[in-house]
Structure 1
Amino acid sequence: MANTPQSKKRARQNDARATVNKARRSRIRTFLRKVEEAIASGNADSAKDALRAVQPELSRGVTKGVLHKNTVARKMSRLSSRVKAISASA
């Protein structure tokens, strides 16, 4: 339990940041789910649009410290290749 005023304040700040980061992660996951659903449906146009929408969200997650840079790079690469494969087959 926090005893000093500084540690009490840090506990409050940590709770506030955790709430913001949780919301941010949830928002990113929603955008990722939309891309996954578009890929699963096989609709190349909606998959491209969803991919275009998720890119800035993932980048924002990196700059805000919610996600690691390499994690986002890996996700973007894999999603891009899957969308490209759908576009090629359509």
Structure 2
Amino acid sequence: MANTPQAKKRIRRNDRRAEINGNRVSRIRTFIKKVETALTTGDKTAAAAALAAAQPELFRGVAKGVIHKNTASRKFQRLSKRVAALA
């Protein structure tokens, strides 16, 4: 258990950051699910629009440090390959 004021503050700060970061990751997942839903319905225009909306969310997560750059690139690449295959 934390005894020093600094350690107590660090626990409070970590809890706040974990909540914020969790919300960011959840938001990214939601955008990715929208693309996957559009892909399963086979609607290329909706999938392309959802992918265009998901791309800045993914890389905002990279900028905020909640996901790794290569992870975001890999996810975006795989989604865009699937959208392009709908043609």
Query: Normalised by the size of structure 1, how large is the TM-score?
Result: 0.95
- List alignment gaps of at least 5 residues for structure 2: none
Corresponding residue for 1:17?
17
Corresponding residue for 1:82?
82
Corresponding residue for 1:36?
36
Q: Report Cα offsets for 1:33-58 as digits up to 9, x if no partner.
A: 00000000000000000000000000
Corresponding residue for 1:4?
4
In structure 2, C-alpha distance between the alignment counterparts of 1:37 and 1:62, rounded to whole Å: 23
- List alignment gaps of at least 5 residues for structure 1: none
In structure 1, C-alpha distance between the alignment counterparts of 2:36 and 2:22, rounded to whole Å: 21
Aligned length, in residue pairs: 87
Query: Normalised by the size of structure 2, how large is the TM-score?
Result: 0.98
- State percent identity of aligned pairs: 62
SS in 2 for 1:66: coil
Instruction: Report the CA distance between 1:29 and its aligned residue.
Output: 0.6
Matched, 1:63 2:75: no
- Deviating runs (4+, > 6 A) in structure 1? none
Corresponding residue for 1:27?
27
